[in-house]
Structure 1
Amino acid sequence: MSRKTARGARTRRPSVLAALVLLAGATRLLVAAPADATGPAGRPAAGPQCAALDQVEIPASAMSLPTRGGRVTGTSVVNRVLSGRAVEFCQVDADILPVDPSAPRIRLRVDLPYDWNRKAMMFGGGGYNGTVPDLAANVPFGPTDQPVPLARGYAMFAGDSGHQQSPTAPASLDGSFGANDEALNNFAAGDALKKTRDASLYLVRHAYGTLPAVSYFAGGSTGGREALVVAQRWPTAFDGVIAAYPAWNNLSEILALGNLAHVLSRPGAFLDPEKQTLLHDHVITACDGLDGTKDGVISHPDACHVDPRALRCTGGADSGPGCLSDAQIRAVNAMSSPFRWPYRIASGETGYPGFPFLSGADMSTPFLGFGTTAPADPMPVTSGYGMQYWSQWVKYFLTRDPDRGSLDVDPAHPGKWLDRISFLSTIEDRNDVDLRPFARAGGKLILLHGAADELVSDRSTGDYYRRVQTAVAPLSARSFMRYYVVPGANHANFGTPAFPAAWDSLSALERWVEGGRTPSNPIVVDTAHTRTRPLCEYPEWPRYRAGDPDRASSFVCTP
């Protein structure tokens, strides 16, 4: 049965059990059955045969993209308590060998539960990747009152995207692999995603004697971009995808971050942590009540129009922590405004929409914010995450010169680097918004973003969503996609956001994919303040109407 036929049958028969039976024999995953499978295809074995997986060869033919095959490097039976449940699983580590002998290998991990639910999930990474994600973790913005996927019985897998981070580099900030073309394509174009998926499913079938009935992908930030990559490039690879705060237009955002590095490096332009907090507090005070209640959360950011000149120091010169100088005001406006470049690049992108620092985002968030010191050459580790990301990109992706100062390259006027920038845009800006093949195959996509994200702009995700709507017409985007913006939520719930978000998007996706039930009136939980809000479908926002301001029922989603 083809995947399309299987999905059509599932739509007509919304029973989850019927869907799993129909899909069990599907050929859509196209992974060769190993000769020594522990059970006949279509019927799971009693459990993963963990020891038998050790040193198993993964043939190159099991992967649709070129490799030199792979091998399991180690296995172990693990017992852990996850989400209050005792979970026993077989942990499998494996390597995929590159075509280019000088390229790093792809390292992957597969966790195979003994109480398997006949489903699989792949996790995406973060930043420049370089490590295998924690397969016992939750989906982005996942719920705290429901089991993590592994504890639900999912066979979990993920890879490091084709390179290994230096142990001396800050987490997810080692871009040195970009000097190798195969490693660059594995990461930026997403080639490692398909290689990892194919190899992992080969091992799943080897362990259980059958393929998963359904497969999902979940990721945030770089992982969110990867979630959109798999939907774009391999529309039949996953039945459902969760893409949170996705850095889909990676090169475009990098150019914007590079521009901000130049702006903030100018004399007197950088805002120290006290001034960063001053600005954030001023914005919250000015806009908090625009949604009908004062609760520390800006729920209607489009109505928030803060002029940083209200904080101007007398005379415009920096006179202390209680005001902003003219140079700092110009920097704040640059961070919050679109950056447009005066040249063409091959991806067709023309700019980046700016960050919501004047509508709720906090630039003082440790690590992910703008740091405690101004950008410089060499880039200080105390500068913001985005500034360090830009620096690594200049050294290893753009110039491939590790001694190159990142402030030597001006994104507004790149000169001799323009051709290289244009080329990189073709693999880093994953902006194919024609998701009709994914939709026709029955795929479902949930997009999530926090309105106070300080690292990846939610405005950019709104742009992506609108483009998809245009591209798939006359097919309704709502037939396969939902996009939700969470007021007050920041990037990955990092630090102490105003609204650390939690929503059971996985159960919602399961009901949609396996039972044909569309997401209906979802509720998002603030895990720090024991309050709830309606999760409004973009571009709606939650307006307070009456009642307890800590209850979602007191709000209504408003166009």
Structure 2
Amino acid sequence: MRRARRLAVSAALMLAASVPGPAAAASAVPACAALAGLRIPVPVMSLPTTGGRVTAVSVVSDPVRGQYCQVDADLFPVDPAAPAIKLRVALPRAWNHKAMMFGGGGFDGTIPDLTANVPFGPADRPVPLARGYATFASDSGHRQNPASPPSLDGSFGVNDEALRNFAAGDALKKTRDASLFLIRHAYAAMPAEVFFAGGSTGGREALVVAQRWPAAFDGVISAYPAWNNLAEILDLGYMTQILARPGAFPGPGKQTLLYDSVVDACDGQDGVRDKVVSNPGGCRFDPRTLRCPGGADTGPACLSDAQIGAVTAMSSPFRWPYRIASGETGYPGFPFLSGADMRTPFLGFGTTAPADPMPVTSGYGTQYWDQWVKYFLTRDPRHSPLEVDPRHPGRWLGRISFLSTVEDRNDADLRPFARAGGKLILLHGAADELVSPLSTSDYYERVRAVLGPRETGAFLRYYVVPGANHANFGTPAFAAGWDSLTVLERWTEAGQPPANEVVTDLSHHRTRPLCAYPGWPRYRAGDPDVAASFACARP
């Protein structure tokens, strides 16, 4: 009997002993109406709450995803001043006896779309809900201000319980426990398998559940994960300081010039010129080749000395000269000089320089830093983000060190997750402009260093997709699509590990081999739009 079934049986018995269950036998059709107003008992959740209650129930008929029951619930905090966790569960009429939890993005604050696909999901396969999965997620314990840019409201950080719900991931386990309670109540059965999928913050959340609760999920899909959140935030703050210097910010035209120049210099090194830099690690580009005469800013056709200094700093490792409690010592920088897509400025530089107050037209990362300084670090909404120097934080060092213990989820010892039978698929786009793929590679290497190559390969696969950016935002060179969910199902249910995987470019109708890290696709011969024309090469 698989681990998930053993856990499901024990959980069902525990809940049956404390909560009246439906009298009918297990059914694939949810008892939707019976969930209205249902109380969620405190003992259901393994972390502190004051219980919960279903707030709304409705039946949704979707022509693509089928009919399902949507259940909304609140999980009440211990601190009366903290917001409730708002969760949602979608219960399909034709249940496949499996469940999928979705992670969020940015500062969270909204409930993810339960009818959506997994990160980098395929276009030619049904989404989890349409496959019969019961899907669930939460806002991670706070609600975003509708006036704020999406996922960029950090104001909840002034409350300690809300902060832990989000940054440490406490809301994940609370949401999982309560949602499984509702699923059991609806179907009179527990799921045979429970999976987790998320990207960016959701990717960090995917690693959080594997690290903190190794037996809670049978399989995890973690895409472009911001696992070392505090470390990355310090780098974002450093970049904010640099880009705010007079004359240092490269405008959109210069960003396009830089991107096109990098691709022109490095495209073709894999054997074919296709606007995709397949081996970013082998790409060598010197931004000084774009220097304006005399180093002054003379227009969009060149970079000034100040701008060259800025883009060089952003693509270089950032180290801080002090210790923080999480043990992190730096962030590897962003591979802007290795093929990152400058055509998505909101995620990268933005279209205007950082300032105080922070413009909504600045980059996502600089706005994230602004919110973090105001509500996580200083807890003063009037504090200027430009007045905190990540290299020399002064009186804020103690607070930064404390926050690192909450936000850096950097436990590389995944042996408990592996021993419990868990499987982990790790994905990142090589041209990600918001979360560095070099950071994910760092985490993967840490896991291998702890477990060894053989034990790591038994439960973990890591893929870097050339040309793919952050969440296929905007117009990436390669819009990645891969049926990772089916691969995960085969691995967890039949013991079939991923092999000879192929990723599709959803925008350009071409395929490439999905090469396990550190491999990358090298062109051999034949149609350059077909994966069979490539072979996975290693550095």
TM-score, normalised by the number of residues in structure 2: 0.98
- Measured after TM superposition, the shift of residue 28 of structure 1 is 5.8
Q: Tell me what 1:91 maps to.
A: 70
Describe the SS at the equivalent of 1:455: coil
- Alpha carbons of structure 1 residues 219 and 438: separation in structure 2 relative to 1, 3 Å: same
Q: Counterparts of 1:29 and 1:185 in 2: how far apart (Å)?
A: 28
Q: Tell me what 2:60 maps to.
A: 78
Q: Counterparts of 1:174 and 1:61 in 2: how far apart (Å)?
A: 32
Q: Tell me what 1:14 maps to.
A: none
Q: Tell me what 2:2 maps to.
A: 6
Which of 312, 318, 322 is 1:343 aligned to? 322
Q: Tell me what 1:26 maps to.
A: 9
Q: Counterparts of 1:184 and 1:137 in 2: how far apart (Å)?
A: 26
Describe the SS at the equivalent of 2:227: coil
| Deviation string, structure 1 residues 290-326 (Cα, Å, up to 9, x no partner) | 1110001000111101000000001100100000000
Q: Does 1:513 align with 2:509?
A: no
Q: Tell me what 1:108 maps to.
A: 87
Matches within 5 A, 1:111-510: 111-473=90-452, 476-510=455-489
Query: For residue 37 of structure 1, what is the amino acid of its counterpart?
Result: G
Q: Tell me what 2:21 maps to.
A: 37
Q: Counterparts of 1:518 and 1:165 in 2: how far apart (Å)?
A: 39
8 Å Cα contact 1:31/1:198 also seen in 2: no
8 Å Cα contact 2:339/2:431 also seen in 1: yes
Q: Tell me what 1:15 maps to.
A: none
Q: Tell me what 2:35 maps to.
A: 53
Q: Tell me what 1:16 maps to.
A: none
Describe the SS at the equivalent of 1:79: strand
- Alpha carbons of structure 1 residues 358 and 117: separation in structure 2 relative to 1, 3 Å: same
Q: Counterparts of 1:390 and 1:30 in 2: how far apart (Å)?
A: 46
Query: For residue 229 of structure 1, what is the amino acid of its counterpart?
Result: V
| Deviation string, structure 1 residues 89-127 (Cα, Å, up to 9, x no partner) | 100000000000000100000000110000000000000
- Alpha carbons of structure 1 residues 476 and 25: separation in structure 2 relative to 1, 3 Å: closer
Describe the SS at the equivalent of 2:62: strand
Aligned residues: 537
Describe the SS at the equivalent of 1:73: strand
- Alpha carbons of structure 1 residues 364 and 374: separation in structure 2 relative to 1, 3 Å: farther
- Measured after TM superposition, the shift of residue 551 of structure 1 is 0.3
- Alpha carbons of structure 1 residues 59 and 25: separation in structure 2 relative to 1, 3 Å: closer
Q: Tell me what 1:12 maps to.
A: none
Q: Counterparts of 1:44 and 1:501 in 2: how far apart (Å)?
A: 38
Q: Counterparts of 1:195 and 1:274 in 2: how far apart (Å)?
A: 46
Q: Counterparts of 2:415 and 2:289 in 1: how far apart (Å)?
A: 47
- Alpha carbons of structure 1 residues 239 and 39: separation in structure 2 relative to 1, 3 Å: farther
Which of 531, 539, 546 is 2:518 aligned to? 539
| Deviation string, structure 1 residues 483-521 (Cα, Å, up to 9, x no partner) | 000000000000000000000000000000011000011
Q: Counterparts of 1:514 and 1:248 in 2: how far apart (Å)?
A: 27
| Deviation string, structure 1 residues 143-164 (Cα, Å, up to 9, x no partner) | 0000000000000000000000
- Aligned identity (percent) is 71
- Alpha carbons of structure 1 residues 96 and 343: separation in structure 2 relative to 1, 3 Å: same
Query: For residue 194 of structure 2, what is the amino acid of its counterpart?
Result: S
Q: Does 1:66 align with 2:81?
A: no
Q: Counterparts of 1:534 and 1:314 in 2: how far apart (Å)?
A: 43
Q: Counterparts of 2:336 and 2:63 in 1: how far apart (Å)?
A: 40
Describe the SS at the equivalent of 2:498: coil
Q: Counterparts of 2:209 and 2:361 in 1: how far apart (Å)?
A: 34
The CA RMSD over aligned residues, in Å, is 1.3
8 Å Cα contact 1:179/1:397 also seen in 2: yes
- Measured after TM superposition, the shift of residue 283 of structure 1 is 0.3
8 Å Cα contact 2:341/2:477 also seen in 1: no
- Measured after TM superposition, the shift of residue 221 of structure 1 is 0.1
Q: Counterparts of 2:331 and 2:19 in 1: how far apart (Å)?
A: 51
- Measured after TM superposition, the shift of residue 370 of structure 1 is 1.3
Q: Counterparts of 2:38 and 2:345 in 1: how far apart (Å)?
A: 43
Q: Tell me what 1:10 maps to.
A: none
- Measured after TM superposition, the shift of residue 49 of structure 1 is 1.0
8 Å Cα contact 1:23/1:214 also seen in 2: no
- Measured after TM superposition, the shift of residue 47 of structure 1 is 1.4
Q: Counterparts of 1:122 and 1:437 in 2: how far apart (Å)?
A: 20
Q: Tell me what 1:11 maps to.
A: none
- Measured after TM superposition, the shift of residue 368 of structure 1 is 1.4
Query: For residue 505 of structure 1, what is the amino acid of its counterpart?
Result: S
- Measured after TM superposition, the shift of residue 37 of structure 1 is 2.0
| Deviation string, structure 1 residues 41-99 (Cα, Å, up to 9, x no partner) | xx6225111111010000011000000000000000000123xx5x0110000000000
TM-score, normalised by the number of residues in structure 1: 0.94
Q: Counterparts of 2:28 and 2:179 in 1: how far apart (Å)?
A: 19
Query: For residue 231 of structure 2, what is the amino acid of its counterpart?
Result: S
Q: Counterparts of 1:368 and 1:89 in 2: how far apart (Å)?
A: 35
- Alpha carbons of structure 1 residues 486 and 39: separation in structure 2 relative to 1, 3 Å: farther
- Measured after TM superposition, the shift of residue 267 of structure 1 is 0.6
| Deviation string, structure 1 residues 393-436 (Cα, Å, up to 9, x no partner) | 00000000000000010000000000000000001000001000
Q: Counterparts of 1:308 and 1:25 in 2: how far apart (Å)?
A: 56
8 Å Cα contact 2:292/2:298 also seen in 1: yes
Query: For residue 9 of structure 2, what is the amino acid of its counterpart?
Result: A
Q: Counterparts of 1:475 and 1:505 in 2: how far apart (Å)?
A: 22
8 Å Cα contact 2:28/2:95 also seen in 1: no
Query: For residue 466 of structure 1, what is the amino acid of its counterpart?
Result: E
